[in-house]
Structure 1
Amino acid sequence: MLVFIDRLSDVCGKLAAAMFFVVGGIITYEVVARYVFIAPTIWAEELSRFIQIWATYLGAAYVLRHRHLIAIDLLTGRLGAGGRLATEVIGLLFIAGFCLVAIVYGTGIVVESVRLGRATATMLSVPQWMTESAIPLGMGLLFLQCLAELLRRLAGRLPGSAGEPDGI
């Protein structure tokens, strides 16, 4: 199961990276269209924001899996292996708890948007659930990766062993 979660996080992370690349292309296109050809688009800003939101949430689990979260290790660097393990477990539990809250409330918001038929107040009038659903899905992926990382820590696979980098 851990291998499946890791692979899912990797696939979503690579998809997120491609999506950020697409956002850069869309913004470049808009700048050229607007300032060179004096012909701005009606879709570039909203589409790039939509893709960026999805990429951010899809990439969160990948970032945790590869241990690239921002970490302040002034204190934890001075702790022994047991202290580092304890702080990592506590950190992962906080992340997992936040994910659960975001999943519950995010799902409620998506359901309400579908029920009410909410759409963006732009010329494209995109249904809001399409953007809002990134939150429960992305937080669900991050929650699964948290569980995988917690199981690894509790099974004794400490950071720095078996080629794993230090820190969450």
Structure 2
Amino acid sequence: MKKLVAVLDSTLSIFCVLLTVVLVACVIWQVFSRYVLGVPSTLTDELARFLFIWVGLMGAAYTLGQNKHLAMDFLLMKLDGRANSLLKLVISLACVVFAGVVMLYGGGGLMLKTLSMGQISPALGIQMGMVYLAIPLSGFIMLVYLFRDILSALNGFFGD
């Protein structure tokens, strides 16, 4: 499990950095073409929007995996031992429900429905389902990290 998470961490971090670099390049070109050339680029405008979606969702999955997401952890800091592990388990299970139901199931359904309808983006002409693929993919990655967290919490609960 540790090896899988390590590979996922490095792959996801590189992917997020690459997406961000392309996103920044698109925005710089958009500003340059609009204000210097006087002809805004519709392709980079749409691409930047789609990249922003992907960076946000993949970054959220990566952040969850690094335990760097926004959290109110004052209760976790007050608890120790089995109580701390139990609360971590409950939090992880609640996150599993969200990532599994909303992101993986709901986002996957949205992606498949959009692909079956053949909706394409106006400027780039790509399938919108490929843009929406970020939702279930992010949910799946979150589930991998949450599975690791659940195993760790169970180990802490039963290991004491």
Matches within 5 A, 1:66-81: 66-81=66-81
Deviation at 1:131, TM superposition (A): 0.5
Q: Which runs of 5+ in 2 are unaligned?
A: none
Deviation at 1:87, TM superposition (A): 1.9
Q: Which runs of 5+ in 1 are unaligned?
A: 158-168
Amino acid at match of 2:87: T
Deviation at 1:145, TM superposition (A): 0.9
Cα distance in 1, alignment partners of residues 107 and 42 from structure 2? 28
Q: TM-score, normalised by structure 2?
A: 0.87
Report the equivalent of 2:110.
Answer: 109
Select between 82-91 and 34-43 the one with higher mean Cα deviation. 82-91
Deviation at 1:98, TM superposition (A): 0.7
8 A contact 2:47–2:124 mirrored in 1: no
Aligned length: 156
Matches within 5 A, 1:27-106: 27-101=27-101, 102-106=103-107
- Secondary structure of the residue aligned to 1:156 is helix
Name the structure where helix makes up a greater proportion of residues.
2
Amino acid at match of 1:87: L
Cα distance in 2, alignment partners of residues 98 and 11 from structure 1? 24
Cα distance in 2, alignment partners of residues 24 and 81 from structure 1? 45
Cα distance in 1, alignment partners of residues 39 and 17 from structure 2? 29
- Secondary structure of the residue aligned to 1:57 is helix
- C-alpha distance 43-49 of structure 1, shift in aligned 2 (>3 A): same
Deviation at 1:13, TM superposition (A): 2.4
- Secondary structure of the residue aligned to 2:42 is coil
8 A contact 2:95–2:146 mirrored in 1: yes
Amino acid at match of 1:119: I
Q: TM-score, normalised by structure 1?
A: 0.83
Matches within 5 A, 1:122-161: 122-156=122-156
Aligned residues: CA RMSD:
1.8
Select between 109-118 and 71-80 the one with higher mean Cα deviation. 71-80
